[in-house]
Amino acid sequence: MSKKPVKIVTIGGGSSYTPELMEGFIKRYDELPIKEIWLVDIEDGKEKLEIVGKMAQRMWDASPYDVKVHLTLDRREALKDADFVTTQFRVGLLNARIKDERIPFSYGMLGQETNGAGGMFKALRTIPVILSIVEDMKELCPDAWLVNFTNPSGMVTEAVMRFGKWDKVIGLCNVPVGAMLDEPKTIGKTLDQLTYKFAGLNHFHWHKVYDENGKEVTKDIIEAMYEGKDMGIPANIHDIPFFKEQLLQMNMIPCGYHRYYYREEEMLAHGLEEYNDPKVGTRGQQVQQTEHELFELYKNPDLDHKPEQLAKRGGAHYSDA
């Protein structure tokens, strides 16, 4: 039996992450037979939308699949009869992220987009917008699933459920997937040989790991963390080591974002050092430069695949989520 052609709408479609998303859809086309993709953005993001939209179409044209990429600034036009809606927008664009980081740092506090004062700033700007999207979905695509990548993912997704009264929603980030893809090799295993058990969600989770015989190997991975092996720490998190004895006593592996809690003083000191260095700047300022480089690459009419430089953006593997 043939599968129903799928319509996907991505709000924030002009994001530099869009090629990562397209790559994931192409890899999984047999499971999700997409017919059309609508990339939606706002007037201020029009130029980026056009650049990344053309690249997205080139990626599909280079694949074996016949998929049309539509570009629009009209969200409601795109949402009509959608099957899935993915959200990856940033209210206020990157300049707002930079303010989210620099304002807390100016008061000697951590500035970060998923937690702390910066995360709260971003949530307060984002939640009204996501709720308005949900209202449009109730009218235009009431059977669709909402897949939220917009940070702070936990707060935004909870708001959709509690205040938007929309249960067909999943909130995702790339952090758990990154752990599952990078940790197995540190103990000479592959992912299909291991079972992961998670407590918590996304940027606030811990996990335990078991091998194919049911034996727990969490402590083996913890030991490997201190042997200089690549643990897949996201590019946007400064790699200050956790306290080894703390992890061994917990017998759980925290996600990288727990550094903002378990190593708060060190992370704050590092953040302030970058904030005070005009040649470095906050993470948002660094991303601004990375995005400029990425969009110059995306303009290349011969580029029809995700460039390696996108991994610097901090969203590696997010389409695998």
The secondary element (H helix, E strand) that includes residue 90 is none
> Nearest 5°: phi and psi at 65?
-110, 145
Please name the amino acid found at residue 270: H
Rounded distance between C-alpha atoms, residue 13 and residue 72, angstroms: 9
Provide the annotated active-site residues.
257
Whether 194 and 211 have beta carbons less than 8 Å apart is answered as yes
What is the edge-to-edge ordering of all strands in the sheet holding 169-171? 68-72, 34-40, 6-11, 84-87, 145-148, 169-171
Q: Which two tokens stand for residue 159?
A: 């708001």
**Any idea what DSSP says for residue 3?**
P
Mode of pairing for the β-strands spanning 195-201 and 145-148: unpaired
Report the Cα 211 to chain-centroid distance in Å: 28
Rounded distance between C-alpha atoms, residue 38 and residue 285, angstroms: 29
The sign of the torsion formed by the CA atoms of 109, 110, 112, 114 equals negative
Angle at 206 between CA 197 and CA 266, to 5 degrees: 160
Selection from 7, 12, 80 nearest residue 318 by Cα: 12
Rounded distance between C-alpha atoms, residue 60 and residue 62, angstroms: 5
